[in-house]
Structure 1
Amino acid sequence: MGTLSLSDFKEVRIPAPWGHISGRWYGNRTERPILAIHGWLDNLGTFDRLIPLLPDYIGVLCIDLPGHGRSSRLPPGMHYGVDDYVLIIPRVMKEYGWSKVSLMGHSLGGIISFMYTSLAPHTVDMVISLDILLPSNMVPQKAVGFVAQRMEKHLVEEDRQEKGNFHEPPSYTLSQLTKVLAKGSLNSVTPEFAKHLLHRQVSKSQLYPDRFYFSRDGRVKFYHLTQMEAGLAEEMTKRIRRKPYLVIKGSLSPFVGKHCEKPIEILRQNNPHFEFYEVEGGTHHVHLHAAEECARYVVPFIRHHRPPALTSWSLNGKEQQLSAEEKRRQREKFFEISKNKRSKL
């Protein structure tokens, strides 16, 4: 068996009441794929370096969340939120007629995967979570101020969008964009890897030649991030039960922190299929800058919990040899039985 090719994909558009969900389906398109969901302000390009390391018998459907990448924006007056993003999973399942789903998520995508799995565990058969497990739990005083600030900025952005090109977003050269993206991610996405995200989230400026701006919906910067109180987090974790669940943490990242200790303990105690690994030196986008290290854990996990179907893979001609060998063994077994019967006569 080989690995997936980044050039072997089908562009997909999943219809939604507000427009469509854009995606790329890599690899095997005859069987149910892994549904991959990116992080906040990113897009499906975040998986560009991990995809070519995954086994080629599987398919991976990477989507852009609403307001991100090439997916449609929500209508004016609407607000982005994690609770609503969770509903994207059953929408995709309904589109393709899946009764089960395999999930792989980074950051926001991992939170969405956790919440959906805890709410509908009977429909999930596997989860891969990259540098995240569940939402943080800010102290109430800080959380209130945070939400109020985001609400105000959301309204400002909405007003800017209503005025159209008179208030076009700040534009940059492509070289500058890589640095802006790196700075915005606290250098989790270095300029070297920024290209994997930029190709789906920039548009050419209408005001300045040779400049580009971020084409994602500016309102997603101020989406509602669910604050999960410790008791609720623990109860939701218990609902996951024995579902295969892999968490990979970047050692330099704070996103799998103290608030995850009790949920991880619950998963370790109750779930024999739970795996947790830490990639040394890894930052939040650990799957992008340390793809090979992540693949060391992701690939065996996939092979164990989503093994190839007999009809979906090949041994490059060796299956015929195995078939001939099996026939030879059966003939020998038949002759041996016949010989024993004749000796008893």
Structure 2
Amino acid sequence: MERYFIKVRDKKVRVTEWGEKSHPVIFCLHGLGSTSLSFIEIAEALQNEYHVISIDVPGHGRTDPFDTGEEYEMKAMVRWLKEVHHELNLERFYFLSHSWGSFLALFYVDAYPNDVLGSILLDGGYQTKRLGNQTVQEEVAFYEGDFEESVDSWETFLDHAVFAPGARRSDSLKLAAEDLALKKGGRFYWHARGRTAASMVRAMYKDETADLYHRLPSDLLLLRATQPESMETQRKKTASIFEKETGAEVVEVPEASHMLHWDRPRLVVQYIRNQWS
């Protein structure tokens, strides 16, 4: 694993890479509140077959935040991401994305279809806000509060902020967890700020992936969560619309929460190999 910085628009962007540069490239986009190490177990399993590149998106990890909320809007983010790919000399790649990252990935595929050899979405891109149960104001208020909370110990941070009760853990995931914390005044804070989260949430309401469905390629693969069961009615509803309007393949992954690639990493790796090898 190699970690380094590039400059895009005079701001730092942290990049994490695994594997040889001669291998086919998988470019990874994490979800809201995560970092490039979100994909660590997937990358470690595939590093002898693929060149895996993952970035911290703006305002996450050690990538500088944007100056304005408008820069987090989807079409603006697509333009920024294209500049990132230019700095990395990326021309064509496979796209692996999680959660919010899958929303941005779909906007990118729509804008630059020839760049993308194939796309796998990990429980993201299909949860249209139009059919959600919250208003934009309610969701923004939640994240503004949640991302500013702190705890007094590392163990508490792991138990309450990083891992769900009963979730599997590993040395690699604990390393990824270290990316998620800021320590200040003896307390542990989430690495991304509430202002950043609020801007990203507003952007998801302003630009809906559902408006792109009819234009997207049909070779998309969505691996979707099935836990907690209380959310299954909503998941099935939005996933069915996504499947019907895009022609994509949708797979319900058993015993998997929204952190699907942390819960079932071997299964995700298997689907990647089956889809792209």
Q: Which interval holds the TM-score relative to the shorter structure? A: 0.7 to 0.9
What corresponds to 1:247 in structure 2?
222
Please point out which of 249, 253, 264 is paired with 1:275.
Answer: 249
CA distance in 1, matches of 2:206, 2:183: 39
Within the alignment, does 1:260 sit opposite 2:239 as a pair? yes
**Alpha-carbon distance in 1 for matches of 2:79, 2:131:** 27
Q: Does 1:236 align with 2:215?
A: no
Q: Could you tell me which amino acid in structure 2 is paired with residue 181 of structure 1? A: A
Distance 2:267 2:132 in 1: 37
Confirm or deny that 1:33 pairs with 2:13: no
After TM superposition, give the deviation of residue 85 of structure 1 in Å: 3.1
Aligned partner of 1:104: which letter? L
Q: What SS does the aligned partner of 2:204 have?
A: coil
Contact 1:237 1:267 in 2 (8 A): yes
Task: State whether residues 23 and 49 of structure 2, in contact with CA within 8 Å, keep that contact through their aligned partners in structure 1.
Answer: no
Alignment of 1:1-345 (within 5 A): 9-31=1-23, 33-54=25-46, 56-75=48-67, 78=69, 81-83=72-74, 84-138=76-130, 142-143=134-135, 145-146=137-138, 149=141, 153=144, 170-182=150-162, 187=164, 190=167, 192=169, 195-205=174-184, 207-208=185-186, 211-223=187-199, 224-227=202-205, 233=210, 235-242=211-218, 244-252=219-227, 254=231, 256-268=235-247, 274-303=248-277
Q: Structure 1 residue 68: deviation in Å? A: 0.7
CA distance in 2: counterparts of 1:63 and 1:141, whole angstroms = 31
2:17 counterpart letter in structure 1:
W
> Once the 2 structures are TM-superposed, how far is the Cα of residue 228 of structure 1 from its aligned partner?
7.0
Larger Rg: 1
| Unaligned segments of structure 1, at least 5 residues | 1-8, 158-167, 269-273, 304-345
DSSP-derived class of the 1:175 partner: helix
Q: Letter of the aligned partner of 1:131 in structure 2?
A: D
Name the amino acid aligned to 2:19: G
Distance in 2 separating the partners of 1:148 and 1:62: 26
CA deviations 1:81-132 (Å, max 9, x no partner) are: 3414333421222113333332110001111111211232232221111012
Q: Aligned in 2, Cα 1:113/1:97: closer, same or farther, shift over 3 Å?
A: same
Q: CA deviation at 1:260?
A: 3.2
What is the percentage of aligned positions where both structures have the same residue? 17
Gaps of 5+ in 2: none
Q: Report the CA distance between 1:74 and its aligned residue.
A: 2.4
The equivalent of 1:4 in structure 2 is: none
CA distance in 1, matches of 2:18, 2:86: 19
Query: Number of residues paired by the alignment?
Result: 267
| Alignment-mate amino acid for residue 267 of structure 1 | T
Partner of 1:339: none
Gap change, CA 1:182 and 1:79, over 3 Å in 2: same
Measured on the aligned residues, the alpha-carbon RMSD in Å equals: 3.2
Select between 288-297 and 103-112 the one with higher mean Cα deviation.
288-297
